Structure 1
Amino acid sequence: MQSVAIVIPARYSSSRFPGKPLADILGKPMIQHVYEKAASVHNATVVVATDDSRILSIVEGFGGKGVMTSSDHASGTDRLVEVMSEVDADLYINLQGDEPLVRAEDLELLINAMAADKSIEVGTLYHSINADQAKDPNTVKVVTSHSGRACYFSRSPIPFIRDKDVQASYKQHVGVYAYRKSVLEKYTRLDESHIETVEQLEQLRLLDSDVDIYAFEVMPTGPGVDTPEDLERVIKILKGEQVDSEKTLLSNIELVITDVDGVLTDGGIYYDENGECIKRFHVRDGLGIKLLQQAGVKVAVLSGRDSRALRKRISDLGIDIFDLGVKNKEVACKDIIKQAGTTSANTVYVGDDTIDLPAFISCGLAVTVADAPEYIKSKCDLVLDKNGGFGALRELADKILIEQGKSKLLDDPSTFLKVHADVTQ
């Protein structure tokens, strides 16, 4: 077994937010939220590396482990190298102290991936984003090869779209790194590269020195905290309140992939006297699907089951992209996205149970219904107010249409009458 140390660099000084690690979030300093998430990772040693006695005192006060490091370090990786002399491990995870919404399962995914392939020297994470999000220079993008090796990181949108008829998918880099001890031992001897200086991205030093970085996909993450405004957003998220980012999430959706049992139906399975499976659908969901189609948003159906009743419903709704009797929903979603001619960043998947988790990873946005288990809700970007089979998909359709400025399809009689001939409930 490999020994793992999760090191959380935490500086007090910050040009945009001085004292950021100690900012209060629902009664706890931010650094404690990050520490507790890291401490829930199985068999990992967690330590905060700081240059300020106030942070060290707070960490020790809530029972955490901290070490004082030099205030002259240019980056969190340099601070991590100093910690190596006090904390011995085979694998070091660099976790930023301003990520209170970090998921322990993402850290474990990274650790397990490094354990599975000992040839990987440096690992990191990413998730899909849409084209508008890719324009933000504060959002670092990564391009990867088929094997997952990072080709380049940039603050610019990459890849660049030369032909406007060509679709591009964008990946946001999540600033969590896993290093083999051997890489950190030579890191400080590497010269700062020109591209690192230009982009102000320390990971480019490794690429420029022919050290490969492999990136592993996770679900979209919550925001980090760079400014006081970011802090308010995080607090709202932890309180379960709506944040402004919901408009960004839905305004670029081009494809909705929906599960059937538990989403389009109430999850009940009924059989007639001949043993034929009968399902109960909701007319509002059907109308919501037709309205999305009228607005140019494609709808696809993905189900682990197959039946004549389901095929009849799909036919009535005019859905021509579907996959039934599916065992691997991750692969099926990727095939559907390709068939629809869009990208994962512009796709939302609606599911309600554990079988849908692989599909959530394949799509840019994960949505679930109100009666889904809590552990499924925790994995999703949006939880609907309605239960599966009782208008949940219509609720999502309304949200998408409103965010995309197409609410006339919902509330304007004359507009609705123009498309009524093609509408099936």
Structure 2
Amino acid sequence: MNVGTELLQSQQKVSSVLRTFARGPALSLGSQAIGLAQLALLLWRVGANEATDAYFYLFNMGMLPIQIVVVGMMYPLLLNEEKITRTAMKRVRWLTPLLCCSLILAGAAWLYASGRSGFALLPIAIGSFLNAGLQARVWFRAVTAEAEGNPRWISGVALPANGLAMMTLLLPIADATTAVVLMLIGLVLGNGTLLVVMSRLRVGDEVLRRAPRSKSGKSTAPYWFLGKAGIGYIGLVVLQSLAVLLPPSAVTLLNLAVKVVGSASATLVNSVMPILVHQNINSPSAGRRFLRVLVAGLTVISAFGIVGVALFLPDLTVPAICLGLWSLSSAAAGAAQRMSFRFLKPSASRVTIIAVPVVVAFALWSVHMPAFQLVVLLCAYAGVDAATSTLLLISLKDKLMATVLGSVLIGLAVIWVSTLA
């Protein structure tokens, strides 16, 4: 009888774990699929133009403080032994939306100064401004829940907004600016609704309540994480700003690539790693095993994709190779960073702080070359992730995966140099 009871309990536990694993990826897959369908529908309806360039550029500017402050600093401090205080979390909660909205204004000013969009930029900037503030509040709650091992909210954080935005694109609107503005209205309504639901369900409130009131002595951890995230994401903004110098639609095409790669990373990493690496996990072994399976799987998928492109769209073979290597690097970087947040000292961030400026410096140098094109920026984006993952895996003493990602970095460098030549 006892044996039967123990067996039943064991089966129930396994079933519960499998359900937990399934919910995150399922939500993330649905969210990312709708997001990609939204972008495909947008490009099909109005094409790539200055209005879509303005939308993508401002959207990414609005995400920058979220990635730096919430994801880059607060989340690691929730996992690391040097915990973030309750007061600091409250400051992040109100400061991040303010920074998001401020960067939208700065980004709109840059686009206007560059001669992009003219007065048609105004309604797009207003919609982006409103969406950025709401999005910051939603991400704060989702990331806080993620830190305690609940991946569902972060996996589906974009689902309501992307869903409503896609519905607006089904309207018979031919004007590009009008279509983008209506899509932004959908994003605002989706994020606003999700924020109300999360507030009523008190998502993340328990993590905030358990956070220490104060720390004994001063800690340098926040500065390490903030510096790493700040340099990393500001470097990506510089790379995206370089796309503005390319012919119109380059920003849109680059962001489409960013979305495809980000979707793969979010579905495969963000929805699973919080279960394997969170506040109560004391060993990186599960994360390491997952990383090996992830890299092997993405390698096979990317190889099939590249062969397919080479057969049917041979002119896009090189960009396809860049995207394949980028997908691999992005996913590995996401997994490696989560393990480093939990199992390395905050000062370990210094090994990656150097990588981004080096890659960005080469990109700035490449701008002056006659053969500068979108492929160079794809290599730069992928190079940032490849360098980050390689250095972190060396710090985590994972020689095999460090060698694999180091090889990817070398491959990207070869493509970059040969393109400019």
Q: Calculate the TM-score normalised by the size of structure 2.
A: 0.24
Higher strand share: 1
> Which structure would you say has the larger RCO, counting Cα contacts within 8 Å and 6 or more residues apart?
2
Higher helix share: 2
